[in-house]
Structure 1
Amino acid sequence: MNALKTIAYIAAAVFIFFGVLFIWGAFSPNGSTGWIIVGIISVLIGLGLIFIVGRRAAQAQAQAQNVQVKIDLPGGVSLDTVKCKSCGGVITSDNISLVNGAPMVTCPYCHTAYQLTEEPKW
């Protein structure tokens, strides 16, 4: 996509450059009034290319990005139940979300939200 964007910007610059040359040449002693029309059309095509490419880049940036985190656990891992610190309710994986890189827990029973921390193993 970046290559097409670069090519479109180069083509727009060429259209605008030659459009300005045609408009400028129309006012020379050997110029023709038809050159003004050709120059204006060329400049408009160049500006249109810039507008279209800029708009597509903005649309691509606006699309939401979905980030999935997959954890590869070592062989001997046992799974414990996670309980809410406030009410003691059982927390499932649906209640854990990743916010700004930190795992956050929202209790479905008392609606308490807190950061999930790992206790030391020793």
Structure 2
Amino acid sequence: MKTIGYILASILIFFGVLFIWGAFGAQGQPVWIVIGIITVGIGLLLVYFASKKPKVEAAPNITLKVDLPGNVNLDTLKCRSCGGVLNAENIKMVNGAPVVTCPYCSTVYQLTEEPKW
């Protein structure tokens, strides 16, 4: 779309300059100056609008809060490699999946939920 805008703008500016230049010739008419100025102005406006960058919206931050009913006992989470105790700061969401980084052995792995049965 920008390329088409630049091409149309250059054509309009070129013919606008020709109209202005032709108005000062032997058979030139004063109306040509007005037409040339309008044509060059439209061409410059096309250059301006073609060069504007579109606005990029930032991705929204999503916070998920879980309210557990009643008294819930949580199991202690241990590292698969070294057996070190992990806490909530060691778990990060990466591409929608929980990823654990062990502070003791620096092992990084994705958490998987085992079936209860």
State the shift of 1:46 in Å. Answer: 2.6
Q: What corresponds to 1:83 in structure 2?
A: 78
Q: Secondary structure at the match of 2:100?
A: strand
Q: What corresponds to 2:102 in structure 1?
A: 107
Match of 2:64 among 49, 59, 70: 70
1:91-120 CA distance string (max 9 Å, x none): 121211122221111111110001101122
Q: What corresponds to 2:25 in structure 1?
A: none
Answer with 41-50 or 70-79: which moved more: 70-79
Alpha carbons of 1:117 and 1:73: their partners in 2 closer, same or farther (altered >3 Å)?
A: farther
Answer with 103-112 or 34-43: which moved more: 34-43
Match of 2:114 among 91, 97, 119: 119
Q: What one-letter code is carried by the residue in structure 2 that aligns with 1:49?
A: F
Q: What corresponds to 1:42 in structure 2?
A: 42
Q: Secondary structure at the match of 2:48?
A: helix
For these two proteins, the number of residue pairs brought into alignment is: 102
State the shift of 1:69 in Å. Answer: 4.4
Q: TM-score, normalised by structure 2?
A: 0.63
Whole-angstrom CA distance in 2 between matches of 1:69 and 1:118: 21
Is there any run of 5+ residues in structure 2 with no aligned partner, and where?
23-27
Whole-angstrom CA distance in 1 between matches of 2:37 and 2:93: 58
Whole-angstrom CA distance in 1 between matches of 2:99 and 2:113: 12
Whole-angstrom CA distance in 2 between matches of 1:112 and 1:66: 30
Q: Secondary structure at the match of 2:93?
A: strand
State the shift of 1:73 in Å. Answer: 4.7
Q: TM-score, normalised by structure 1?
A: 0.61
Q: CA RMSD of the aligned region, Å?
A: 3.6
Decide which structure has greater helix share: 1
Q: What one-letter code is carried by the residue in structure 1 that aligns with 2:69?
A: G
Is there any run of 5+ residues in structure 1 with no aligned partner, and where?
1-12
